[in-house]
Amino acid sequence: MINQKNDKILITIEYTNLHPALSYTEDKLNKFFQRIFLIHENMSNGVLSVAFLNKAEHSKLHGDFLQDYRPTDVITFPADPENEMVGEICVSVDQAREEAESRDLTLEKELSLYLIHGWLHLVGFDDRNDTDRKNMRIEEANALAIVEKDSLWPNFLLAPQSFEV
């Protein structure tokens, strides 16, 4: 959990790790978010919920709320001021692992991209048409470059999993 205070704006982050093999240090993740909040501020007070899910749980969430059960990378739920929620970012750790492998990236970078993408949605960016998608990609690249420059990558780690055949 982190409290981020910028000119009377207070955001508390709550992390929920529902992925059986994922580990990370909240301190590093908090520093990552502190920097992201400075790049793109949200003018709401409240809780930002961040959930790390496996592919099956994430796909079910995608289907239950968006009527599309196909795997996806990140789902955001908008602010709910009545319940003091800044929003929720739900990421598929398995999707990030697969994408990172296929694009020859680290898990840290892929999951960080998903978190940035989710935050951009919560502060008003969209990616429903070509122009909006282009603007979203520019902002993602800018945020990733700042995280790289400041060495603020979260230390996501996936433990080896055994699978029954």
Domain residue spans in the chain? 2-152
Provide the pLDDT confidence category of residue 144 given band limits of 50, 70 and 90. very high
Residues 6+ apart with CB under 8 A from 126: 132, 136
* pTM across the whole model: 0.91
Does 126 or 5 have the greater pLDDT score? 126
- What is the percent of the chain where pLDDT is above 70? 92
pLDDT band at 160 (very low <50, low <70, confident <90, very high): confident
Q: Which fold has domain 2-152?
A: Collagenase (Catalytic Domain) (3.40.390)
Give the lowest-confidence range in 9-13, 14-18, 128-132, 133-137: 9-13
Tell me the pLDDT tens digit for each residue of 2-51.
455 545 568 999 999 999 999 999 999 999 999 999 998 887 789 999 99
Instruction: Quick: pLDDT tens for 65-94.
Output: 888 888 899 999 999 989 999 999 999 999
